[in-house]
Amino acid sequence: MKQFILPLALIIAGHSASAQYKITSKHDVECTEIKNQERTGTCWSFATSSFLESEVKRTKKIDIDLSEMFSVRATYMNKAQNYILRQGKANYSEGSLSHDVINAVERVGLVPESVFSGKSEGVEVHNHSEMVSATKGMLDGLQKRKTLSPRWKVAMGAILDIYMGNAPETFQYDGKEYSPKSFAKFLGIKGSDYISLTSYTHHPFYRSFVLEIPDNYSNGSYQNVPMAELEKAVDNAIKNGFSVAWDGDVSEATFNHKEGLAILPKDAKRENLWSKPDVELTVTQELRQSTFESKSTTDDHLMHLVGIAYDNKGTKYYKIKNSWGASNTFEGYLYMSQAYFQLKTVGILLHKQAIPKDISKKFQ
């Protein structure tokens, strides 16, 4: 899989001589080509699979195209078990988080995209709406029974097989036979190497807690750090060749995938919003907390953070690989301003070695 690298200097809005919005890349991490999650809510797997592809490139110097849908299928099975055990008092939907992919790797392993596309025969576009309705209907029906036999898991697996195809038990890669678990071992992916971070004040800093967001069905824990240290961890990662899986809010009017920008200007109504950089909001820890508690910051989307750049006014941006296809100004990438990152980042996942030691030594 070849790496897609944007030109060093980028003129953003309008592509005209009068455009004054320029972004220059400063640090880049190698990543694989843009993909499209299509009509599914599986950004979490696309973002985290892309992250793992960069990890394999970093550690093994191997270009790999991983199957996002293999992790999705395993997660649907895990969600179904959770939903049954909690007697329907749990979230069962298309959404999940980065740690759910890491957990799936630990449970079932990884496979290449060429081995499992997640599309049944004759299907060209990912679309999980009917599949989720079918499985959710079955699970809700099972909740009405006083007792359950083990056969419900077989039935759940059969529905997933119909819509996604049969998951392989063994396969060939470069002339060798692997199981999904042995393939993950070959790629060097270990769940214990990765950690999730967040930054909210309703829990103590430098301790872990279960982040209270709907898609955290698996009760994943996040290490809590101050906002400045969350940003410092990301910057340290990128500058040292590590990428980051990002989870946050993309519902703002100033998140514009078509223009390739996520910004947080003081004046969001000015006419030249997408053609000229201007002063951005000052984000504080208190503002982060208030927007989270008021639900104006929610975990809408996950993406892959692969670089740092600066505009012609010196504002810092994070280069983001999205999973909505290559149809925007930057062929699938976008640039998120420092202020937007500070306010709208819900959580991140990264390699433990990417975190500065002066931060990680504070973890309890």
Give the active site residues: 43, 301, 322
* d(C-alpha 230, C-alpha 342), whole Å: 9
* d(C-alpha 363, C-alpha 223), whole Å: 7
* d(C-alpha 223, C-alpha 246), whole Å: 15
* d(C-alpha 181, C-alpha 191), whole Å: 12
Report the SS3 class of residue 222: strand
What one-character-per-residue DSSP string does 151-189 give? HHHHHHHHHHHHHH-PPPSSEEETTEEE-HHHHHHHHT-
The residue count for the chain: 364
Among 197, 242, 192, smallest CA distance to 30 is for: 242
* d(C-alpha 263, C-alpha 361), whole Å: 33
Among 44, 38, 36, smallest CA distance to 216 is for: 44
* d(C-alpha 101, C-alpha 97), whole Å: 7
Type of residue found at 173: Y
Name the pairing type of β-strands 301-311 and 333-337. Answer: unpaired
DSSP assignment, residue 353? G
Assess contact for 87 and 130: CB atoms under 8 A.
no
Helix (H) or strand (E) holding 208: strand 208-210
Q: ∠ at Cα 8 (6, 12), nearest 5°?
A: 75
Helix (H) or strand (E) holding 233: helix 227-239
Rg (CA), the chain: 21
Among 243, 187, 179, 239, smallest CA distance to 63 is for: 187
